Amino acid sequence: MKKKNIAIFASGSGTNAEEIMKHFQKSAVGEVSLVLSNNASAYVLERARKYQVDTMLFNRQVLNETTAVDEKLEEKNIDFIVLAGFMLLFPERLIKKYPNKIVNIHPALLPKYGGKGMYGMYVHEAVVKNRESESGITIHWVNEIYDEGKIIFQATCPVGPKDTPEDVATKVHQLEYEHYPKVIESLLKEK
Ligand code: GAR
């Protein structure tokens, strides 16, 4: 079977993107063919170069009001889209073009701590402030509403009374690295 082409959208450091690129270097079902970012200084672009993966940089206006991103995805024959720390709302136009082919990872146990403004460290700060005893990750399909697509997978980690938001971030990142590449691989196998 032909390998599926994966595109990763990321806005920041890209540690998840790197784990996914690393995983799919050795996979028979898919490969990362493109990394896209809305942030010129995002370290994820550097990571993509290290793995010799093609990159595309765009801004909000290009994403929402032109078809430049669509054309790049088509040129690369993208079959599956992974959001990994992508901080812009994913446009409805692309969601319609790639039905059930776009996944996101959220650094908490949705439906808790989701929605607009809940991303990255803001999530972990809220979890600690509310004295939660656990947090975790949620991998879900992307639909038109922030963090409300169907949940595919969740994993939890304990939050201790002395944990700082940084401690929680570390635990959540470990879960992300452990599970996100494998969950993507199993979804590709089902397609
Ligand atoms: C990850 O923890 C991811 O779950 C989160 O941003 C971080 C990106 O880290 N995503 C969101 O908050 C989306 N709402 P990374 O750039 O090192 O992969």
pLDDT tens digits for range 117-154: 899 999 999 999 999 999 999 999 998 887 789 999 99
**Ligand 1 pocket, Cβ-based, cut-off 6 angstroms:** 10, 12-17, 84-85, 105-107, 119-120, 123, 173, 176
Question: Which of 33, 79, 90 shows the shortest CA–CA distance to 56?
Answer: 33
* Residue 91, phi-psi category: left (phi > 0), alpha (psi -120 to 50), beta (remainder): beta
pLDDT tens by residue, 29-84: 999 999 999 999 999 999 999 999 999 999 999 999 999 999 999 999 999 999 99
The ligand 1 atom at the shortest distance from the C-alpha of residue 119 is 12
Contact 122, 107 (CB under 8 A): no
Contacts of 35 (CB under 8 A, 6+ apart): 7, 8, 9, 10, 14, 17, 21, 44, 45, 47, 48, 53, 54, 55, 56
Q: Is the pLDDT of residue 186 over 80?
A: yes
Task: Determine the pLDDT at residue 69.
Answer: 98
Task: Determine the pLDDT at residue 116.
Answer: 84
pLDDT band at 1 (very low <50, low <70, confident <90, very high): confident
pLDDT band at 187 (very low <50, low <70, confident <90, very high): very high
pTM: 0.97
Task: For residue 107, report the distance from its CA to the centre of ligand 1, in Å.
Answer: 7
Q: What is the mean pLDDT of residues 102-124?
A: 95
Q: How many residues are recorded in the chain?
A: 191
Q: Which helix (H) or strand (E) holds 165?
A: helix 165-190
Domains and CATH numbers, the chain: 4-190 (3.40.50.170)
Q: Which helix (H) or strand (E) holds 9?
A: strand 4-9
